[in-house]
Amino acid sequence: DGCFDEGKTIRLPVSVKGGPVPGMKWFKDGQPITLDDRCFFTYDGDKTFLEIHPCGGSDAGMYKCIVENNEGKDETECQVSVRKCFETPSFTYAFPNQQKAPGSEAKFCIKVDGVPKPELNFSVDGRPIIPDGNRIRIKKE
Q: Tell me what pLDDT residue 33 has.
A: 96
Q: Tell me what pLDDT residue 54 has.
A: 93
Q: Tell me what pLDDT residue 49 has.
A: 94
Query: Is residue 41 very low, low, confident or very high in pLDDT (cuts 50, 70, 90)?
Result: very high
Give the pLDDT confidence of 56-78 residue by residue, as tens digits: 999 999 999 999 999 999 999 99
The dihedral of CA 84, 110, 133, 131: what is its sign? positive
The dihedral of CA 114, 120, 124, 128: what is its sign? negative
pLDDT above 80 for 130: yes
pLDDT above 90 for 127: yes
Which of 77, 140, 80, 74 shows the shortest CA–CA distance to 110?
Answer: 140
On whether the CB atoms of residues 65 and 77 are closer than 8 A, the answer is yes
